[in-house]
Structure 1
Amino acid sequence: MRSTYKIPESVLVVIYTPELEVLLLERADKPGFWQSVTGSKDSLDEALELTAQREVMEETGIDTQVHTLTDWHLSNIYEIYPTWRHRYAPGVTQNKEYVFGLCVPRSTSVTLAPREHLRYQWLALKEAADMCFSASNAEAILQLQQRHK
């Protein structure tokens, strides 16, 4: 049974091209807030890779089975923004985020979930990192050059 509260474990999926352009999405609930694909586990027993696959499909329409989804074996613990804390159980103030990467051709079609995102854009690494509102998202993007082989 799914809890009425969000689980404070989530994924961050940096979607990028072989040329190291990064896909960023603008949040519908916070216009001007740009980010990579993110999302919480739907259940305590949902595997993180399945969470990443589901979130990428829901938010962009990109099928991770066609491309290589990579677990970066990196996690971050961060303070949940006060504006979103009501989604979590009382007293929950931190979230653990697990980072994945997904390399796709630049020609990959992106279909946004209109309730979640307004627009998308492909940006160079530094420009994408500078545009992210989340520090952990920006840091993951900047690590991409060393991780992409």
Structure 2
Amino acid sequence: MFAMKPYKIPESVLVVIHTADLQVLLIERADKPGFWQSVTGSLDAVGEPLLAAATRELFEETGIVADGQQIVLRDWQLSNIYTIYPVWRHRYAPGVTENTEHVFSVQVPRETEVKLSPREHVNYLWLPYLEAADRCFSASNAEAILQLRGQVGHTDT
């Protein structure tokens, strides 16, 4: 007999990975070729701390370790509520149609090695933040990337 996979928790994290000069890392979904995004993932358990979820998802999807010293996740204290795409609603309990997404960012050196989880993503690329926002399939992800410049206090020099 097969055990039923538990439903996903409709609360997630979004982690925008960027360099000092606002190059943004995008990853292509394995289950939807052509769908580019930042790191995203649902909480593993109700009550999982958001920073722990963001740290876990960052590592699981890219191999990047947020060590809290050189690679530091930044909690934007920003949440988005969005409608779950119908293609993915079967992962959630019946009647669940919305997800609350908590936004984080992390600045990494450009030469940071990226190790994708092949089960989740098949390709990655670095793009200037405006181009990255245009490439994202998710409106909330694109909006977070557009807010990146202001969130990290980047100014042209």
Q: Do both proteins adopt the same fold according to a TM-score greater than 0.5, normalized to the shorter chain?
A: yes
Deviation string, structure 1 residues 90-120 (Cα, Å, up to 9, x no partner): 0000000000000000010000000100100
- Partner of 2:8 in structure 1? 6
For 1:131 and 1:44, the matched residues in 2 are separated by: 32
> Residue 35 of structure 1 is aligned with which of 10, 34, 37?
37
- Partner of 2:119 in structure 1? 115
Deviation string, structure 1 residues 110-135 (Cα, Å, up to 9, x no partner): 00000100100000011000000000
Letter in 2 for 1:93: T
Written as runs of structure 1 = structure 2, the 5 A alignment for 1:1-149 is: 4-65=6-67, 66-149=70-153
For 1:145 and 1:78, the matched residues in 2 are separated by: 23
Letter in 1 for 2:33: P
Q: Residue 90 of structure 1 aligns to a residue in which SS?
A: coil
Residue 59 of structure 1 and its aligned partner are, at CA, apart by 0.1
Letter in 1 for 2:51: E
Q: Residue 54 of structure 2 aligns to a residue in which SS?
A: helix
For 1:101 and 1:45, the matched residues in 2 are separated by: 21
Residue 148 of structure 1 and its aligned partner are, at CA, apart by 1.4
Higher-Rg structure is 2
For 2:75 and 2:81, the matched residues in 1 are separated by: 17
Runs in 1 of length 4+ with deviation above 2 angstroms? none
Letter in 1 for 2:14: L
TM-score using structure 1 length:
0.97
Letter in 2 for 1:122: W
Percent identity between matched residues is 66
For 1:45 and 1:20, the matched residues in 2 are separated by: 32
Letter in 1 for 2:36: W
